[in-house]
């Protein structure tokens, strides 16, 4: 019975990480499963989900970028600039997106599309998961309702936050690409 609960927790992180982690903490609080088992099951599910988002970006992102209407808007220079931007700030981006609701999906997919260091992504993602998962599961197990109410209030804005974050990232990458192209043009002119 406990094994099926742990597998269910791990799999449920693929649908909603925060809710699965809260559920793991509440199950541990009630004594249904040991706290350490809840942390490990949730952590494994979160990490697999992170790698899945990166792989989705890697497998499908370039195809989306190759669409004619998008290809005309993104130059090879701007794509290269985005590659460098993601690679240079990978650790910071992963840790920030782990703790800011609604930012993981766009960030991890973008890292898959533009990142060139899969092992670095995997390592930083593992470290961020090891920081976030125990924090949420253990705090839910010990503080229960106080944590649950705060998380539910912040996740209500999750879809809106995801949309705004994706739009902001797109805008930043677009502006960054234009700025990089401008610098390249001006350097070659001099």
126 within 8 A of 71, measured Cβ to Cβ: no
Helices 118-143 and 35-56: crossing angle in degrees, nearest 10, is: 140
**Cα–Cα distances in Å, from 47 out to 37, 82, 93?**
15, 24, 16
148 within 8 A of 22, measured Cβ to Cβ: yes
Q: Which two tokens stand for residue 190?
A: 């001099």
Q: How far apart are CA 188 and CA 6, in angstroms?
A: 58
45 within 8 A of 23, measured Cβ to Cβ: no
Percent of the chain with pLDDT over 70: 72
64 within 8 A of 171, measured Cβ to Cβ: no
**Cα–Cα distances in Å, from 44 out to 21, 133, 159, 161?**
11, 9, 24, 25
- 49: pLDDT strictly greater than 90: yes
Of residues 169 and 27, the one with the higher pLDDT is 27
Using CA of residue 132, residue 135, residue 137, residue 139, what is the dihedral sign?
A: negative
- 67: pLDDT strictly greater than 80: no
HSE-CB for 120 with a 13 A CA cutoff: 14
* Mean predicted confidence (pLDDT) in 180-188: 60
Q: Which two tokens stand for residue 17?
A: 């990480």
What mean pLDDT value characterizes the chain? 79
- 117: pLDDT strictly greater than 60: yes
- pLDDT tens digits, one per residue of 159-177: 555 555 556 555 655 665 6
Query: 110 pLDDT band (50/70/90 cuts)?
Result: confident
- pLDDT tens digits, one per residue of 125-170: 999 999 999 999 998 898 877 666 665 555 555 555 555 555 655 5
* Mean predicted confidence (pLDDT) in 103-112: 84
Query: 87 pLDDT band (50/70/90 cuts)?
Result: confident
Of residues 107 and 28, the one with the higher pLDDT is 28
């Amino acid at each position: 019975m406990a094994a099926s609960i742990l597998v269910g927790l791990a799999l449920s992180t693929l649908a909603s990480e925060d809710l699965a982690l809260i559920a793991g903490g509440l199950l541990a609080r009630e004594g249904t499963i040991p706290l350490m088992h809840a942390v490990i099951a949730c952590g494994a599910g979160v990490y697999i989900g992170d790698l899945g988002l990166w792989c989705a970006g890697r497998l499908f992102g370039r195809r989306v970028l190759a669409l004619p209407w998008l290809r005309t808007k993104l130059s090879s220079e701007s794509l290269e600039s985005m590659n460098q931007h993601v690679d240079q700030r990978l650790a910071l981006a992963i840790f920030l997106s782990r703790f800011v609701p609604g930012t993981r999906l766009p960030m991890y997919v973008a890292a898959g599309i533009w990142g060139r260091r899969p092992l670095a992504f995997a390592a930083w993602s593992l470290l961020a998961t090891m920081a976030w998962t125990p924090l949420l599961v253990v705090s839910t197990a010990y503080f229960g309702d106080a944590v649950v109410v705060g998380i539910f209030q912040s996740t209500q804005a999750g879809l809106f936050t995801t949309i705004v974050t994706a739009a902001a990232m797109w805008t930043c990458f677009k502006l960054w690409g234009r700025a990089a192209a401008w610098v390249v043009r001006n350097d070659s002119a001099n």
